[in-house]
Structure 1
């Protein structure tokens, strides 16, 4: 029996670096694997752009344009759960077929995902619930430590279950109940070399850590440009004089006067760019997780389908370079 712990941040960075590097090797076997990833990135960019464009339209008082853009964003925000899951099912199937030594095209994967619409809808609806729980957790001021702990465990638990259900659906075409059975079968039949990485939180909060640093830099840049270049910016985005925004004693340390005008357009653009990068990065990370867990699922439940030339490479990939149980990130043997 193995009990799992959360890997430390340095371990998470190490894991992600290893996975990104060796995922490229898997993708190199079939370039079609990249197609669903690119599609989700493009969709994410459109979604973010619509949201920020609606805010800009409201500020510029562009009639009903802001309302229309916001409604379009709301529709796509709901639809993206279904779209992303369809692309991830296609991705999972392509990865499995590649590991089996079969060369499949993206249209074949699209057709396979179309056969799995009921499973995709279930995943999408459960993703919506998980997103609501995550939002509730991040906005809960009175929930207390225990409530936030439970909500966090539910969110992370679903992330693991979701990425094991994807290959169960895509590869075996089972329903939700049988998919949960496949999840149990995976855990019960894990080879000794892989027991240390089952259930590992591969990415953890690495994305949040990276994006926090980037966003901090972008916010500072936006504030600096909003002050120094305020005269060249549209008046509609002026936020007033600094004396109205900051306490008087602050100007004892700042190189600006209380009469300096702040324009928040540069800050708005910097936040927009940060959100674009974040959304694209998250799609890449999700794709890496889908690839990893699909290969894990195939290795455990369908080892006979693996192409001979990928077996050794796959074993190293799944064990982060062949680490033993005592050293595998994220595990503590009991």
Structure 2
């Protein structure tokens, strides 16, 4: 039995005085001995936390006990060690950065795509009148995606709104959106509806829940996650590796961050090239004076920095 759990979750629900909530929530998480990363905004919560099964159960019970977050859907992974080193809670303007802050246009609590449970998504995804749309960034779908999915050339989710015109060709189709845990689809599907797409759906719980409930059929490759695991397996039915080493082109499922902290690019790299380039994406980055020590994982703990958590531009530290 695994010694730890990792929880992935989000909840769109209005939080009054979200800045203070973030500070209090950090103390609460630390009191449970959790590690992880949580974003708090006026619109809700978005988090991944890791700890003992007992600590994670206590955390989920506390979140569900708050009527604002009672409907939160936790995706639970069993892991051999915590998926983070430290506990961070940050206040931000959005729980997933889209640049769309007008509640008259995007409000997942009022209008969003129809939620499909994993079994429903699997039953619909191959229909002729369906387009499966990946709303994640390039580095995420480069390591894994649904078979025949439409992917977008975007570096961050905030680039998604600019892609609407390119998606107009699918307006007469049923659009099935998906992402890692479901949070990006809430806003992506809401925007598609606002832009005149009529038949918009989203995979409830995202790729992670799909893998747990129906075995991940037809998800090719691995799923990128935002913790020190970097990627996780999803498909136990018909798995296939689709990613290739950026440097030599060899098939590899391994994704890392460039060891040059000023680059820090997410990319796929085989172990041989990782050893030769010391975890860097290029010889230029390999010669950088601040290059971090490559231990074979390609994951590096970020050094805590003062961040602006106040609307009044007061600099505070919300992580230790």
TM-score range, shorter chain: under 0.3
Q: TM-score, normalised by structure 1?
A: 0.23
Which structure has the greater CA radius of gyration? 1
- Between Structure 1 and Structure 2, the one with more strand by share is 2
Q: TM-score, normalised by structure 2?
A: 0.24
Q: Which structure exhibits the higher relative contact order, with contacts defined as CA atoms closer than 8 Å and separated by 6 or more residues?
A: 1
